[in-house]
C-alpha cells in the first residue's frame, strides 16, 4: 500500500493489502483486498476508517459494513482502548483488520456466518459488548456508565453506582473500571457516544475528535498468527 492523494487532513493509504492468517484451531488462509485506509491526524485518539474498494465484500450489514461503506472492525470503546495502548498502524492491522478480512474471506469461500462469531449490527451490538466489558446486565446501566464517563470524576463519584449496589460510585469497587476508561477518550466523546446509543438527548452533544463513531460492532476474534504487507 502507498500514500494516496486526499484533500482531507491526515494520511490516506490505498492499494492492495495482503495477509496470511492462521487462527488457533482454524485453517490457514491467505487473501488480498483493495483497501483505502483513512488515518486521522489525531490517531491514535481516533480510529482509522477502512473501506474495501475492490467491491468483493458485499455492502450489507451481514458482512458488518457500515452505511458509509467503511468496515465495522469492533465496538468503538474496545477499538480505542487497544489502538491507544499500541499506538501504531501495524498493531491496528494485526489486532482488527486482519481478523476481519480473514472472517470475510472465510465466509465468501465457505459460506455460513463470520468465523469468530458476531454481535448484532448496530447500537444493540455495541450495548451487548459493553455490557460484557463492564459486566453489567442491561442497556440502562451501559448508557449510565457512558454518561458518568462524560462527567468530571468528582461529579460522577457522587452519583449512584450503575452496577446496582445502591452506593455512590466513589465508594464502589466498580469505580476502578471507569477510571481505566477515562484515559481512553475525552469526556465529550463519551457524551456523544452515549447519545448515539440512545442516551438522553437533553445533554449537549459535542463532537469529539472526529465525533462518536458509527455504532456497529463485531466481536473481537481469538488470537491469530498473521502476516500482512
Domain that includes residue 175, residue range? 74-87+117-221
- Candidates 187, 207, 206; CA nearest to 147 is 187
* Three cell numbers, residue 77: 470503546
Say if residue 81's pLDDT is above 80.
yes
* Three cell numbers, residue 152: 468530571
Taking the model in full, what pTM does it have? Answer: 0.76
The pairing of strands 224-228 and 2-3 is unpaired
Report yes or no on 94 lying in a domain: no
- Please check whether residue 94 is in contact with residue 227, taking contact to mean a CB–CB distance below 8 angstroms: no
Query: How many domains does one find in the chain?
Result: 1
Report yes or no on 48 lying in a domain: no
Q: Is the bond leading into 44 cis (omega within 30 degrees of zero)?
A: yes
Cβ count within 10 A of residue 76: 25
Report yes or no on 5 lying in a domain: no
Partner residues linked to 71 by β-bridges? 65
- Please check whether residue 200 is in contact with residue 147, taking contact to mean a CB–CB distance below 8 angstroms: yes
pLDDT in tens, 128-149: 999 999 999 999 999 999 999 9
How far is it, in rounded angstroms, from Cα 40 to Cα 34? 20
What are the residues whose beta carbons fall under 8 Å from the beta carbon of 146, sequence distance 6 or more?
A: 130, 190, 191, 193, 194, 197, 199
How far is it, in rounded angstroms, from Cα 25 to Cα 41? 38
- Please check whether residue 58 is in contact with residue 27, taking contact to mean a CB–CB distance below 8 angstroms: no
How far is it, in rounded angstroms, from Cα 202 to Cα 153? 21
Report yes or no on 156 lying in a domain: yes
Report yes or no on 198 lying in a domain: yes
Report yes or no on 158 lying in a domain: yes
User: What is the rounded average pLDDT for all residues in the chain?
Assistant: 84
Mean pLDDT is highest, among 19-28, 81-90, 130-139, for 130-139
How far is it, in rounded angstroms, from Cα 228 to Cα 8? 26
Least confident of 74-88, 124-138, 178-192, 213-227: 213-227
Amino acid at each position: 500500500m502507498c500514500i494516496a492523494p486526499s484533500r482531507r487532513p491526515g494520511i490516506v493509504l490505498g492499494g492492495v493489502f495482503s495477509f496470511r492468517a492462521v487462527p488457533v484451531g482454524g485453517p490457514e488462509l491467505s487473501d488480498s483486498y483493495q483497501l483505502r485506509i483513512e488515518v486521522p491526524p489525531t490517531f491514535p485518539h481516533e480510529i482509522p476508517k477502512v473501506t474495501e474498494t475492490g467491491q468483493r465484500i458485499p455492502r450489507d450489514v451481514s458482512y458488518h459494513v457500515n452505511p458509509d461503506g467503511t468496515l465495522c472492525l469492533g465496538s468503538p470503546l474496545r477499538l480505542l482502548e487497544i489502538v491507544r495502548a499500541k499506538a501504531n498502524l501495524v498493531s491496528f492491522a494485526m489486532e482488527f483488520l486482519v481478523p476481519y478480512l480473514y472472517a470475510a474471506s472465510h465466509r465468501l469461500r465457505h459460506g455460513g456466518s463470520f468465523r469468530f462469531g458476531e454481535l448484532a449490527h448496530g447500537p444493540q451490538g455495541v450495548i451487548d459488548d459493553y455490557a460484557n466489558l463492564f459486566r453489567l446486565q442491561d442497556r440502562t446501566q451501559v448508557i449510565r456508565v457512558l454518561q458518568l464517563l462524560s462527567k468530571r470524576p468528582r461529579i460522577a463519584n457522587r452519583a449512584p453506582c450503575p452496577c446496582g449496589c445502591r452506593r455512590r460510585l466513589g465508594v464502589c469497587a466498580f469505580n476502578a473500571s471507569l477510571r481505566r476508561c477515562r484515559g481512553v477518550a475525552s469526556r465529550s466523546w463519551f457524551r456523544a457516544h452515549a447519545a448515539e446509543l440512545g442516551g438522553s438527548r437533553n445533554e449537549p452533544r459535542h463532537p469529539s475528535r472526529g465525533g462518536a463513531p458509527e455504532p456497529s460492532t463485531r466481536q473481537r476474534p481469538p488470537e491469530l498468527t498473521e502476516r500482512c504487507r
